[in-house]
Amino acid sequence: MLSSIAGTASGAKPVRPPDTIQLAAQITSADDAFLAARDAFRSGDAGRGAIYAQRVSALDPRHPLIAYLDYWVLTRQIRDYGDALTAAAPDDDIRRFIDRNPGSVVADLARRDWLLALGKRGEWKTFEAQMPKFALNDDAQVTCFQLAARAIRQIRGVSSPAEATEGGEADNASVDGLLRAARAALAQPRDYSSDTGACATLARVLVAEKRIDQQEIWTWMRLASDANNAGAARRYALLLSDGDRGGDNPRFYRQLDAVLDKPALWIAKAGGDGAGRWRRELAALAFSRIARADPAMGFIGLQQHGSELLTSSETSYVYAQLAAAAAKKQMVEANEWSRKSLAAENLSEDILGWQARGALRAEDWKLVETLIEKMPAEMRRAQAAEGTWAYWLGRAYKAQKKNDAATAQFVQVADQFGFYGQLSTEELGQKITLPTRAQPATDAEVAAVRARPGFARALYFYKLDLRREGNLEWNFTLRGMNDRELLASAEFASRNQLLDRAVNTADRTRNEHDFAFRFLMPFRPQMLEKTTAAGLDLDWVYGLIRQESRFVQVARSSVGASGLMQLMPSTARYVARKIGLDGYRPDGVADLDTNLTLGTSYLRMVLDDLDNLPVLATAAYNAGPGRPRAWRSTLIRPVEGAIFAETIPFNETRDYVKKVMSNATYYSVLITGMPQSLKARMGFVAQRGFTPTELPERDVQ
């Protein structure tokens, strides 16, 4: 294919700077030409990318990554085909490409792009023939097209939209399963990305077949509003019937825009100038948007205008919004409002979760039980959210002396190795230990996995410092591996100093485990030196680094944090100045010795600043010390560290604290050889008035 890529997919001559050919000719390394081609394709300049790709082929026709150059050219053709009905079908080119690269991630990416193009064009027969071969199967838009194809075939009994007139219907069980899957896909606002996208196509098919009623559409609009996705709410509204929009489309959309953009003003005008159901639904949206921004103002507005604008059901929904927003802001009113919301239905998982956290923070165990039992079964099963709600339901049962029910919950969660698996183990009267260590991988087992082409491509990407592409190749190669193969792959990663891949690969085993890989301890002499100097526990710092960088020394986050301990530039400068680090230079922050010195020194500072409580210091390392101070100041009584962690308002920081503390517990078992207690490590957090600190803060969402 590289011999023909100097032109665009349509055959036209590419527009390019006059010196591109000369610049390409000056490149003497195939790797450098590959990187130049990648940059050009990523910037959308296919013509320039083609020139550099030809240079790669000229310098090294067998370059290990040459298939990616073919893919970048091919995907441009595929997208043109999907966007323009007059474009020539590239089906034969795609099939040849896939046949040349069997079982590879790049072939699967080409098939994904092909499926998206086929879905856009409504070529369902070819789509359904290719869909079972899509190994990644991780694209929400492809899933919506797949469900649309099934709907056309199963509900209408046809193979293409052109035939969809009076087709017969498939059996009810098959259709019911399809509709459940379709509703689950359509209720994800983040995936409902355009009026003409895959999920919109699916929705229009189901609405046309009268398989989705108007109430369900209003529910999706509420979910979109809950997710602060006004665009998706507007797109869902396009599915409403004229009758549900009051028969006056322009007027309805003006009202909807006002609700989504300036809800308080809309409420102040007593709900606009509409009437009927759609006015009530818009009022519920308006109140919920006000509640999320300012729960106190939302409550006042509800008291003033709720009775004239809402039914009792809609009022319950608004109280749920108020309760969740108040819990996130750690307001004492949260639980009162939760009790007024118990009749509300079809709430998002985020709203239900925050209502439960509000009750948890107050240790109102009866309300915790009521709210968790109100969650959908899928949300509170032991495997969901790493056992969060199954564990806390068990705790609620235990607090109310429902011991058998509590034990049943803990038993289900204790099989897991994460934060709540550890806590559940302790609730069952046991300490944290390690599973029996699997037999190490043999040289023969390592040699067998080393021979897989995907690993060779991954290693080449890592050599070029393209970690994202390398990780994609590595993870794709792991698909379908048994535990022995995974352990051999972890050993192979370790031998190649791919410490993050060793950890992540060992994490995937199901029955045979090696926690020495899951919880690697590299750089131990340096770690001992720095943690001892800072007076920190080695297990805690290892647990933090495992979460921050997975031991990748060159790791750099999207916000600029660097090195093993992911130090922000401003934090590194502050700490270097405070400790008088001689010769500090910002460009050396990723250096192992410098990074560990600054990171452990900063961790010592935040630990001292927060009363020597590791759970608070861990939160501070991620979110800045001012935030855990503020969260702590709103406590009305001392709470367990686990409760404090679960009620942290920032999703990233909440997950971070739980993972770091869980990691540290396992590291402690490995280091001491003794059973450990996560509950003891988490301790208790007591209320303390907020005081400012000079320590640098950190931007976290």
Q: Are residues 367 and 466 in the same domain?
A: no
180 within 8 A of 147, measured Cβ to Cβ: no
pLDDT, position 246: 65
* Residue 659 to residue 547: CA distance in whole angstroms: 7
Please say if the pLDDT value at position 12 is more than 50.
no
Of 539, 601, 529, the closest CA to residue 565 belongs to: 601
256 within 8 A of 237, measured Cβ to Cβ: yes
In a domain, 40, yes or no: yes
The 8 Å CB, 24+ separation contacts for 668-674 are: 668/537, 668/539, 669/432, 669/433, 669/434, 670/434, 670/515, 670/516, 670/519, 670/521, 670/539, 671/521, 671/538, 671/539
pLDDT, position 244: 72
The 8 Å CB, 24+ separation contacts for 73-77 are: 73/1, 73/2, 73/5, 73/9, 73/46, 73/49, 74/1, 74/110, 75/109, 75/110, 75/113, 76/8, 76/9, 76/46, 77/9
Residue that terminates a domain, selected from 485, 513, 541 = 513
pLDDT, position 104: 97
Please say if the pLDDT value at position 387 is more than 70.
yes
CATH number at residue 287: 1.25.20.10
Residues facing residue 684 across a β-bridge: 640
Q: Are residues 326 and 291 in the same domain?
A: yes
Q: Are residues 541 and 500 in the same domain?
A: no
Residue that terminates a domain, selected from 513, 540, 574 = 513
In a domain, 459, yes or no: yes
Total count of domains within the chain: 4
Percent of the chain whose predicted confidence (pLDDT) is above 70: 92
Q: Are residues 217 and 305 in the same domain?
A: yes
Give the pLDDT band of residue 38 (cuts 50, 70, 90): very high
**Upper half-sphere CA count for residue 107 (Cβ side, 13 Å):** 16
Task: Return the structure tokens found at 115.
Answer: 């499926």
In a domain, 324, yes or no: yes
pLDDT, position 14: 52
Q: Are residues 231 and 294 in the same domain?
A: yes
Q: What is the mean pLDDT of the chain?
A: 91
Contacts of 585 (CB under 8 A, 6+ apart): none
* Residue 464 to residue 34: CA distance in whole angstroms: 10
Task: Return the structure tokens found at 457.
Answer: 């491509």
419 within 8 A of 658, measured Cβ to Cβ: yes
In a domain, 380, yes or no: no
pLDDT, position 84: 75
Give the pLDDT band of residue 171 (cuts 50, 70, 90): low
Q: Are residues 48 and 123 in the same domain?
A: yes
* Residue 586 to residue 597: CA distance in whole angstroms: 14
Of 339, 343, 366, the closest CA to residue 355 belongs to: 339
Residue that terminates a domain, selected from 484, 513, 542 = 513
Please say if the pLDDT value at position 169 is more than 60.
no
Please say if the pLDDT value at position 172 is more than 90.
no
Apex CA 561: angle with CA 557 and CA 566, to 5°? 100
Q: Which residue range(s) make up the domain with 268?
A: 213-375
* Residue 142 to residue 119: CA distance in whole angstroms: 8
In a domain, 401, yes or no: no
pLDDT greater at residue 317 or residue 88: 317
In a domain, 367, yes or no: yes
473 within 8 A of 461, measured Cβ to Cβ: yes
Alpha-carbon 660 to chain mean position = 18
626 within 8 A of 645, measured Cβ to Cβ: no
Give the pLDDT band of residue 151 (cuts 50, 70, 90): very high
Question: What residue type is assigned to position 559 of the chain?
Answer: V
Percent of the chain whose predicted confidence (pLDDT) is above 90: 79
pLDDT, position 358: 98
Mutual angle of helices 230-237 and 249-261, in 10-degree steps: 160
Q: Find the range with the poorest average confidence among 265-274, 314-323, 435-444.
A: 265-274
Task: Return the structure tokens found at 486.
Answer: 């995974």
Contacts of 622 (CB under 8 A, 6+ apart): 652, 653, 656, 657, 698, 700
Q: Are residues 580 and 668 in the same domain?
A: yes
Residues 341/259/183/650 CA torsion (nearest 10 deg): -60
- In tens, the pLDDT along 107-122 reads 999 999 999 999 999 9
Contacts of 46 (CB under 8 A, 6+ apart): 8, 9, 14, 40, 72, 73, 76
Per-residue pLDDT, averaged over 206-211, amounts to 90
Sign of CA pseudo-dihedral 319, 323, 329, 332: positive
Q: Are residues 481 and 542 in the same domain?
A: no
Mutual angle of helices 277-293 and 249-261, in 10-degree steps: 20
CATH number at residue 448: 1.10.1240.20
Question: What residue type is assigned to position 73 of the chain?
Answer: V
CATH number at residue 595: 1.10.530.10
Please say if the pLDDT value at position 510 is more than 50.
yes
Q: Find the range with the poorest average confidence among 3-17, 226-240, 288-302.
A: 3-17
Q: Are residues 529 and 505 in the same domain?
A: no
Q: Find the range with the poorest average confidence among 93-102, 252-261, 366-375, 683-692.
A: 683-692
- In tens, the pLDDT along 611-669 reads 999 999 999 999 999 999 999 999 999 999 999 999 999 999 999 999 999 999 999 99
Proportion of the chain in helix, strand, coil states, percent, rounded to 5: 65, 0, 35
In a domain, 394, yes or no: no
The phi-psi region of residue 212 (left if phi > 0; otherwise alpha if psi is between -120 and 50; otherwise beta) is beta
Q: Are residues 246 and 312 in the same domain?
A: yes
Q: Are residues 641 and 565 in the same domain?
A: yes
Give the pLDDT band of residue 7 (cuts 50, 70, 90): very low
In a domain, 457, yes or no: yes
Q: Find the range with the poorest average confidence among 221-230, 274-283, 341-350, 493-502.
A: 274-283
Please say if the pLDDT value at position 166 is more than 50.
no
413-434 burial by CB neighbour count: b if 16+ within 10 A, else e?
bbebbbbbbbbbbbbeeebbeb
Q: Are residues 9 and 123 in the same domain?
A: yes
pLDDT, position 251: 82
The phi-psi region of residue 164 (left if phi > 0; otherwise alpha if psi is between -120 and 50; otherwise beta) is beta
Task: Return the structure tokens found at 45.
Answer: 């300049």
Per-residue pLDDT, averaged over 33-48, amounts to 95
Which residues are known to be catalytic?
548
Contacts of 502 (CB under 8 A, 6+ apart): 490, 491, 493, 494, 517, 520
* Residue 505 to residue 526: CA distance in whole angstroms: 25
